[in-house]
Amino acid sequence: MPRVVGSILRLFETKKLLGSGFQVIGTNALYAYEASAGIFFESGLMATRDVDILWDTRSRLQLHSRVKAEPGGLLAILQEADPSFELVRKRSFRAMNQKGYMVDLLKPEPRPPHLLEKRQMGASGDLVAEEIPNLQWLVSSPKLTQCVICDDGYPAVMVVPDPRAFSLHKLWLSRQADREPIKRRRDKEQALAVCRLVLHYLPHLQFSPAELRMFPKAVVTTAAEAIKASGLPPDYGFRS
């Protein structure tokens, strides 16, 4: 895993933020899945120049109490890891360092949508979380905590969504017409790769409705059809 991500995660762990309110989603979560299974994904599947951080604002009271000493909020933490991190523009959900590595802060769209929720850890000048539809599926899913090794040889702890939830969410993204075609194709490739990982290396994880209850039934059914048509072994599927 890129060393800059490891530096950020180690700071999160030191400040007791990792898992209590923050988790890593997107492509970087694949590092945790491959470490858990003891395998490597092909390099093309892992290529990314950013890290997506999902903020569970349902934990905001606990999170606020733990960041009182961080008046700069998330940006201050990022700058501890790398002083060159800056917002890409005023009131942005994204910060970028001088090497072009980006950190995005995301949160689920509020329910109902007109509800106003806190979008900043710190005061003005901090990252402002982007509100994304249906991210509550990942917030509500079980979590995987996994130690990974960074490219500088040092370990870091990651908290990521359950790989089954990652797969279903990515398959759902791959079917969204307003998403860029190249991203939709990549979403599907990553989803199916994680499905294969679960099948072959994490068989204790079952795609059962009870364990996927945070997803709408239609999303689970559509994902099951996509997996069935993907060429995976015939005994692979969603358990009743």
What are the tens digits of pLDDT across the range 74-92? Answer: 999 999 999 999 999 998 9
Q: Residue 240 above 70 pLDDT?
A: no
Answer whether 36's CB lies under 8 Å from 182's CB.
Answer: no
Spatial CB neighbours of 25, under 8 Å, sequence gap ≥ 6: 52, 53, 54, 106, 135, 138, 160, 161, 166
56 band by pLDDT with thresholds 50, 70 and 90: low
pLDDT for the residue 64: 29
Residue 59 pLDDT > 70, yes or no? no
Q: What is the mean pLDDT of the chain?
A: 84
HEC readout, 142-192: CEEEEEEECCCCCEEEEEEECHHHHHHHHHHHCCCCCCCHHHHHHHHHHHH
Contact predicate 167/189, CB 8 Å: no
pLDDT digits (tens, 9 = 90+) for 137-168: 998 899 999 999 999 999 999 999 999 999 99
pLDDT higher than 80, residue 57: no
The pairing of strands 143-149 and 130-132 is unpaired
Above pLDDT 70, what percent of the chain?
Answer: 88
Lowest mean pLDDT among 26-30, 95-99, 108-112, 143-147: 108-112
Q: What is the mean pLDDT of residues 59-71?
A: 36
**What is this structure's pTM?**
0.87
Confidence of residue 46 (pLDDT cuts 50, 70, 90): confident
Confidence at residue 62, expressed as pLDDT on a 0 to 100 scale: 25
Question: Are the beta carbons of 5 and 153 closer than 8 angstroms?
Answer: no
Structure tokens at 15: 């400040």
Q: What is the mean pLDDT of residues 225-235?
A: 68
Within 13 Å, how many C-alpha atoms sit on residue 144's CB side? 25
Mean pLDDT of 201-226: 87
The rounded distance, in Å, linking the Cα atoms of 6 and 139 is 22
pLDDT at 239 (0 to 100): 58
Contact between 232 and 195 (Cβ < 8 Å): yes
pLDDT at 188 over 50: yes
d(C-alpha 146, C-alpha 150), whole Å:
13
